[in-house]
Amino acid sequence: MREVAVIGVGMTKFGELWNTNLRSLFVEAALKALKDAGVDRLDSMYVGCMTSGLFAHQEHLGALMADYLGQKHLPAYRIESACASGGLAFRLGFIEVASGMSDIVLVGGVEKMHTGADVTDALSTASDSEYEAFLGITFPGLYAMIANAYMHKYRIPYKEFREKLAHVAVKNHEHGSKNPNAQFRMKITVDTVLNSTLVADPLRLMDCSPVTDGAACVVLAPVEIAKKLGKPVVKVIGSGAATSAIALAQRDDIAWLDVVEAAAKRAYDMDKITPKDIDLVELHDCFTIAEVCVLEALGFYEPGGAINAAYNGDTYIGGKLPVNTSGGLKAKGHPVGATGVAQIVEIVEQLRGNAGERQVKGAKRGLAQNMGGSGASSVVHILEVE
């Protein structure tokens, strides 16, 4: 397997994009990435998207996007793993280049959610449709169950738990305020979170990532081509994926994301990396509790320890371990299929030194973690700048 680098990145603004449709979103992001890469040809492309079928009544995205990108006869694939569609698409693009099968591969993720479709219903398809969604549970509900299990397992008093969770959202909005592409640019306070309406006890509106339209794309190439392009070479040094029980009731420990632990181990082991070697993390904070549980499963905190991370200031830009400098899913937005790729875009910009106000000084190695459902699939990538 040869070494692979990310040579171009691009993304649309994330938000309620009433004037842009599904195909335009993707193409806009793809053109930005291709321009950034400076390449004149593509060998294949991957499109990560959770459910354009339910949202926009459109499947067959590989063909659609290749067509609208003006790439006649290009091999193109639609990748789906619920909210991990983008990250998984990136992994498969990486494998195609690493294997030597292709040289220049475009990987993109897109989700057009503001289409008039029933969002709660569409997203519920990421859970166990017959034995979870069917009974009335929603996505916030699943993570709320995880939150209650976590609070109970580590015997954290409710008020303290609620406050510490709120700090995760506050931090992500602080970061998002520095991201011109973020859906939400406003800063919030702990009170904003604690006074927002209950969505699924104990989670409130401000614990939940929003409904977002957006697309993000990257271009992959072997390192020997990347070296000729005159930009910092950002290599993919670790990639890992895993799946776990789809139904929350069938996980070994409701408060532990075993799927993230398994995916991360494979990514770390690829280049013998440990959590200590990571300078910044883009992780899947679909809900505030997810950031807490993911940090533990990635090995950055002991079980029960990550609840204090944002509260203690560790995970702010400038802190011990900056997490979600982009604003995370909470402030940047969560166009489901695009998220995994947008995480890569942020890591690459940070490693190149292009992150402006959000820059983590001296960032050399970044980790991106993308997750599907309530912890049924996860993909972890580690990137390093030469």
Which residues are tagged catalytic?
83, 334
> Which of these, 74, 65, 7, lies nearest to 35 by C-alpha position?
7
Does 145 participate in binding other proteins (rule CB under 8 A)?
yes
Cα gap 289→203, rounded to integer Å: 9
Conformation bin of residue 140: beta by default, left when phi > 0, alpha when psi is -120 to 50: alpha
Q: Which is nearer to other proteins, 139 or 316 (CB)?
A: 139
In the shown chain, the binding pattern of residues 153 to 192 toward other proteins, with x for contact by CB under 8 A and - for none, equals -----x----------------------------------
In the shown chain, the binding pattern of residues 341 to 360 toward other proteins, with x for contact by CB under 8 A and - for none, equals --------------------
Question: How many other CB atoms sit within 10 Å of the CB of residue 243?
Answer: 16
> Which of these, 14, 9, 335, lies nearest to 180 by C-alpha position?
14
Are 12 and 29 in contact by the 8 Å Cβ rule? The answer is yes
Q: Which is nearer to other proteins, 69 or 133 (CB)?
A: 133
List the one residue from 27, 97, 165, 248 that touches other proteins (CB under 8 A). Answer: 248
In the shown chain, the binding pattern of residues 64 to 93 toward other proteins, with x for contact by CB under 8 A and - for none, equals ------------------------------
What is the identity of the amino acid at 158?
Answer: Y
Q: Which residues from 100-139 bind other proteins, rule CB under 8 A?
A: 118, 120-121, 124, 130-138
- E strands within 54-180? 76-79, 105-111
By CB atoms closer than 10 A (0-12, 13-18, 19+), residue 272 is exposed
List the one residue from 18, 19, 70, 197 that touches other proteins (CB under 8 A). Answer: 197
What lies within 8 Å, CB to CB, of 117 at 6+ separation is 54, 55, 56
Does 148 participate in binding other proteins (rule CB under 8 A)?
yes
Does 200 participate in binding other proteins (rule CB under 8 A)?
yes
For the bound state, the minimum distance from the C-beta of residue 373 to other proteins, rounded and expressed in Å, comes to 14
For the bound state, the minimum distance from the C-beta of residue 142 to other proteins, rounded and expressed in Å, comes to 8
Q: Which is nearer to other proteins, 177 or 196 (CB)?
A: 196
For the bound state, the minimum distance from the C-beta of residue 211 to other proteins, rounded and expressed in Å, comes to 12
Q: Which is nearer to other proteins, 45 or 149 (CB)?
A: 149
> Which of these, 213, 188, 238, 211, lies nearest to 347 by C-alpha position?
238
Q: Which is nearer to other proteins, 13 or 251 (CB)?
A: 251
Does 198 participate in binding other proteins (rule CB under 8 A)?
yes
Question: How many other CB atoms sit within 10 Å of the CB of residue 78?
Answer: 19
- The H-or-E segment that residue 282 falls in is strand 280-282
Conformation bin of residue 182: beta by default, left when phi > 0, alpha when psi is -120 to 50: beta
For the bound state, the minimum distance from the C-beta of residue 53 to other proteins, rounded and expressed in Å, comes to 17
Q: Which is nearer to other proteins, 134 or 160 (CB)?
A: 134
List the one residue from 95, 229, 247, 270 that touches other proteins (CB under 8 A). Answer: 247
Tell me the CA distances in angstroms from 370 to 34, 212, 378, one per residue in order: 23, 17, 6
Binding site for other proteins (CB under 8 A): 118, 120-121, 124, 130-138, 140-141, 144-149, 152, 158, 197-203, 247-250, 254
